[in-house]
C-alpha cells in the first residue's frame, strides 16, 4: 500500500513516516524543505532501515501537484501535514498562511477527487476550539473564531474537506492535535525549530542546554491551579501512531462516516510550571525562568476528552509528560553534540 505523506520531513510528518514504515506501508514524501532539512531522511532510514521515496515539490504549484499525481496513480492514502504552523508568524503574514495552507490543500484534494476511491487524513489542531467552554474538550465542542490566521486555516481547511467529501469519493479523517512534544526514542529524528523556538518545550530544552539565557513564562495570572496556562502535551510518537490507525480505519472502511474528527491528546492538562518541573526532574537541571506578561492570543486552558479516540478510533496515548520531556531533552543533547 503506497501512502503519500505531504510535509513528511517535518516534525510530526517524519515520526508518522517511521510508524507507517513499521506497519509495512510504502511511503512517498513530498516536502519543499521550507521548515526542515533533507537530513531527516537519513534519520528515518537509521530507524527503519528504509529510505522513503521523496520529491521536493511545493504544493502551492498546481501544475507540479497535477504532474505528481499523474506519475503516481497507485496512492491509496494521503496524510497531509504540509502547512506553515507558527501562530505568531501567521498574525504578521496572514496571506503567506492562507496561500500555503489553503491553496496547497485545495490542489491535493482536486487530484484526489478524480480517483474512484481516496483516503485523506488532515493535520488539524485544537486551536480551532479557541478557549473552549468546558474541559476536557470533546469533538463536538463549538468551534470558536480562531485565535490566529494559522488556526483559521485549520478551521477553514476542515470545512473545505467536509464540503468536498460530501460530493466526491474522498473519505477523510480530521485529527485535532493538542500539543505535540518530544522525539523518537532513538533520537534519530525530532523537532528542529528554525530560529528562536515559539513553542514551550523546544525553548525549555534549548535553555536547559544553555543556548537561551532563560525561559519567559507568559503569565502566571490565569485562573488555573498555579496561575500558569494549561495544555495537553502529547508525545509525538503517540501522535504518529494515531495516524497509522486512522489510515487503517479509512482503508478498512467498515461503516464509517465520510468525514470523522478525533481529538488527539493525553486527556491530562499540564501547566507551564508543571512542564518546567518535568524538565528539571528528567534532566537534573534547574531551569532559569522569569514570569512575564501573557502572550497575545494565548488561551487559559485546553486538554482533550479522549473518549472518542480511545473507543471509536481505538487509540490511546501511552507516554507520560516526563517520558515525552526526557525524549525531547535526549534529542536536544544529541543535535548539539
Min dist. Cβ of residue 87 to ligand WQD (A) = 5
Q: Which residue is nearest to ligand WQD (CB)?
A: 229
From the list 64-72, 166-174, 211-219, 310-318, the region that binds ligand WQD by CB under 6 A is 211-219
Burial class (CB in 10 A: 0-12, 13-18, 19+), 293: exposed
| 321 belongs to the binding site for ligand WQD (CB under 6 A) | no
Cα(51)–Cα(43) distance, integer angstroms: 9
- Grid coordinates of 114: 478524480
Binding mask 82-111 for ligand WQD (x = CB under 6 A): ---x-x------------------------
Burial class (CB in 10 A: 0-12, 13-18, 19+), 299: middle
| 199 belongs to the binding site for ligand WQD (CB under 6 A) | yes
| 218 belongs to the binding site for ligand WQD (CB under 6 A) | yes
Between residues 112 and 324, which has the closer beta carbon with respect to ligand WQD?
A: 324
Cα(180)–Cα(67) distance, integer angstroms: 33
Interacting residue with ligand WQD among 1, 102, 216, 245 (CB under 6 A): 216
Q: Which of residues 102-161 bind ligand WQD (CB under 6 A)?
A: 125, 127
| 295 belongs to the binding site for ligand WQD (CB under 6 A) | yes
Alpha helices in 189-320 (DSSP H): 200-209, 236-252, 272-283, 307-308
From the list 30-38, 53-61, 106-114, 209-217, the region that binds ligand WQD by CB under 6 A is 209-217
Cα(16)–Cα(85) distance, integer angstroms: 17
Alpha helices in 210-235 (DSSP H): none
Q: Which of residues 229-258 bind ligand WQD (CB under 6 A)?
A: 229, 231
Cα(191)–Cα(202) distance, integer angstroms: 8
Between residues 126 and 170, which has the closer beta carbon with respect to ligand WQD?
A: 126
Cα(281)–Cα(264) distance, integer angstroms: 26
Q: Which of residues 7-66 bind ligand WQD (CB under 6 A)?
A: none
Give CA angle at 145 (171, 237), nearest 5°. Answer: 50
Min dist. Cβ of residue 233 to ligand WQD (A) = 8
Residues 277-286: contacts with CB within 8 Å, 24+ apart? 278/321, 278/322, 278/325, 279/204, 279/205, 279/208, 279/325, 279/329, 281/322, 282/322, 282/325, 282/326, 282/329, 283/208, 283/329, 285/208
Q: Is 259 strand, coil or helix?
A: strand
From the list 1-9, 35-43, 194-202, 277-285, the region that binds ligand WQD by CB under 6 A is 194-202
Between residues 103 and 199, which has the closer beta carbon with respect to ligand WQD?
A: 199
| 209 belongs to the binding site for ligand WQD (CB under 6 A) | no
Interacting residue with ligand WQD among 198, 277, 320, 333 (CB under 6 A): 198
The residues annotated with a catalytic role in the active site are: 150
| 287 belongs to the binding site for ligand WQD (CB under 6 A) | no
CB 80 within 8 A of CB 105: yes
From the list 40-48, 57-65, 161-169, 216-224, the region that binds ligand WQD by CB under 6 A is 216-224
Q: How many residues bind ligand WQD (CB under 6 A)?
A: 18
Footprint of ligand WQD (CB under 6 A): 85, 87, 125, 127, 179, 198-200, 203, 215-218, 229, 231, 272, 295, 298
Amino acid at each position: 500500500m503506497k501512502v503519500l505523506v505531504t510535509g513528511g520531513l517535518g516534525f510530526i510528518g517524519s515520526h508518522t513516516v517511521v510508524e507507517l514504515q513499521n506497519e509495512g506501508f510504502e511511503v512517498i514524501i513530498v516536502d519543499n524543505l521550507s521548515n526542515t532539512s533533507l537530513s531527516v531522511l537519513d534519520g528515518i532510514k537509521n530507524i527503519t532501515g528504509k529510505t522513503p521515496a521523496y520529491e521536493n515539490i511545493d504544493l502551492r504549484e498546481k501544475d507540479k501537484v497535477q504532474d505528481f499525481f499523474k506519475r503516481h496513480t497507485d496512492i491509496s492514502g494521503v496524510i497531509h501535514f504540509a502547512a506553515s504552523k507558527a501562530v505568531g508568524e501567521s498574525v504578521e503574514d496572514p496571506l503567506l498562511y492562507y496561500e500555503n495552507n489553503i491553496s496547497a490543500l485545495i490542489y491535493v484534494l482536486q487530484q484526489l477527487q478524480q480517483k474512484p476511491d481516496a483516503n485523506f487524513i488532515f493535520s488539524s489542531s485544537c486551536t480551532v476550539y479557541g478557549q473552549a467552554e468546558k474541559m476536557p474538550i470533546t469533538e463536538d465542542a463549538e468551534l470558536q473564531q480562531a485565535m490566529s490566521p494559522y488556526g483559521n486555516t485549520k478551521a477553514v481547511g476542515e470545512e473545505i474537506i467536509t464540503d468536498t467529501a460530501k460530493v466526491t469519493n474522498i473519505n477523510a479523517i480530521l485529527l485535532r492535535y493538542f500539543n505535540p512534544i518530544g522525539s523518537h526514542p532513538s533520537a534519530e529524528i525530532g523537532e528542529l525549530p528554525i530560529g528562536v523556538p515559539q513553542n514551550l518545550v523546544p525553548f525549555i530544552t534549548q535553555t536547559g542546554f544553555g543556548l537561551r539565557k532563560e525561559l519567559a513564562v507568559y503569565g502566571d495570572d490565569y485562573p488555573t491551579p498555579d496561575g500558569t496556562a494549561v495544555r495537553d502535551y502529547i508525545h509525538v510518537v503517540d501522535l504518529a501512531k494515531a495516524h497509522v490507525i486512522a489510515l487503517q480505519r479509512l482503508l478498512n472502511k467498515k461503516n464509517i462516516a465520510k468525514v470523522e474528527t478525533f481529538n488527539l491528546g493525553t486527556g491530562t492538562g499540564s501547566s507551564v510550571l508543571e512542564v518546567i518541573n518535568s524538565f528539571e526532574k528528567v534532566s537534573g537541571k534547574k531551569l532559569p525562568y522569569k514570569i512575564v506578561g501573557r502572550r497575545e492570543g494565548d488561551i487559559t486552558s485546553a486538554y482533550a476528552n479522549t473518549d472518542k479516540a480511545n473507543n471509536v478510533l481505538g487509540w490511546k496515548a501511552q507516554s507520560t509528560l516526563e517520558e515525552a520531556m526526557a525524549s525531547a531533552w535526549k534529542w536536544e543533547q544529541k543535535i548539539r553534540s
